[in-house]
Each structure stands twice: as C-alpha cells, then as structure tokens.
Homo-oligomer: A and B are copies of this chain.
Amino acid sequence: MKTEPPRTERRADALSKQRIVEAAIEILDADGETALTFRALAARLATGSGAIYWHVADKGELLAAATDEIVARVMTGIVPEVEPRAAIRAIALGVFDAIDAHPWVGAQLTREPWRPALLLVFEGIGGRLQTLGVPERAQFDAASTLLSYVIGVGGQNAAHARMARDEERTDRSAFLGEVADRWSALSASGYPFLRHVAAQMRDHDDREQFLAGVDLIMAGIAAIQ
C-alpha cells in the first residue's frame, strides 16, 4: 500500500491521495456529507471524476481516509505524560471536539469501526486503563465501554449538526429548545421522566454532559476494582 516517491518531478498540483483527501475534507466541512460527490471533488481539483479512482478505491475509502486524517490529528495533540485519568478525559474530549468541528466524522466512526482512526483512540484509552491499575480481566470491557460511549455521543452530535444544517437553525440552543418543547408536550402519564428533565434539556451543555458521562464510567471502573 505504501506509494513510492515519484521518480520524476511532478507538477506541484498533481493529484495524490493526500490532496484528494484534503479536498474532500474541505467539501465535507463546508457543505456536509451530501455535498461530497466525485463530480464536485473533481471540479475542485480541476480534473476528471475518473482520475480520482486512480488514487482511491471508492467513496468508502475516501470517507474512511478523511476520518482517519481528522482523528490522527486529534491523537497527535494529546500530551502523553499526563495522569491517566486526565489523559482519558483529554482523548475523549479531543474526539468530541473533532466531531463538533467536523460532524461527518461522527457519522463515519459509527459506520466503520476498527479502522486506524479508532484503533488509535482505543489504544490510547486502553493503555491508560492499564497504567491506572485496572485488573487484567476488566481492561478490555472497560476500554470498549468508553469507546462505545464516545462513538455513541459522536453519532448523536453528528445527527444534531445535520438537523441544524437541514433546517436553518443557526444555533444549538434553538435546537435544544425545540426538543425540550416537544418533551414538555408529551403525555404526563406516559412520559413523566422526559417531562421532568425537559427543562434541563433546554439549558444543558452537550460538552459538559459528555464529560459527566465519561466521569460516570470512570467512577464505575474505579468501583469495580
């Protein structure tokens, strides 16, 4: 899979998988998943749509490569020497913020687990659980639980971003308010809990709630030891 460096000088703007992936990320960030088509990508790269297939197998590989790129950037930014609990929080927050900035990543992570992108995250979390002294038996389950949670929140965040784009709700609080309104309107007998937390839904901060979940799971891991 490793591509040889080209023998002859290439035009500065020659195609390459790297350039294609970067252009794809720009389109995805600017206009969302539906905007990424091979025709749009070819136009942006000033080439034919078929040329892209010389460097990338298909659209799936393109999306996977773009996701790996974003997640790799996140993991590069994690300082390695910090206290394990703080490191796990930092990794989780890094993924959360990356999905916040690139919502399409959230959808992609749920679609394609066990890719390089997620292996980096899984290794980062699992390694810290080891140094934290989590018993052998529990390490795998604990790391999987944290990863699944991070992916789950990421997918929901991606969905929120998609909805905010589709309807032209500019801000997040308007969206939360709408959901809260809908919960308040549910039947009192069928949905007492949702009616009860509707007010909290309206005012809560997604990022803080995400962290609260990470802490909850970490508390569970500590309790099991």
Contact = CB atoms under 8 A, between A and B. Distances in A.
A193 interface: yes
A151 interface: yes
A148 B145 contact: no
Most buried by B among A152, A159, A204: A152
B193 A126 contact: yes
A181 to B, nearest CB: 12
A123 B216 contact: no
Interface in A80-115: 107, 110-114
Nearest to A127: B193
Interface of A: 107, 110-114, 119, 122-123, 126-127, 129-130, 139-145, 147-153, 155-156, 158-160, 162, 179, 182-183, 186, 190-194, 196-197, 200-201, 204, 209, 212-213, 215-224
B149 A193 contact: no
A32 to B, nearest CB: 13
Contacts of A112: 159
Contacts of A127: 192-193
Contacts of A129: 193
A67 to B, nearest CB: 13
B193 A144 contact: no
Most buried by B among A114, A147, A193: A193
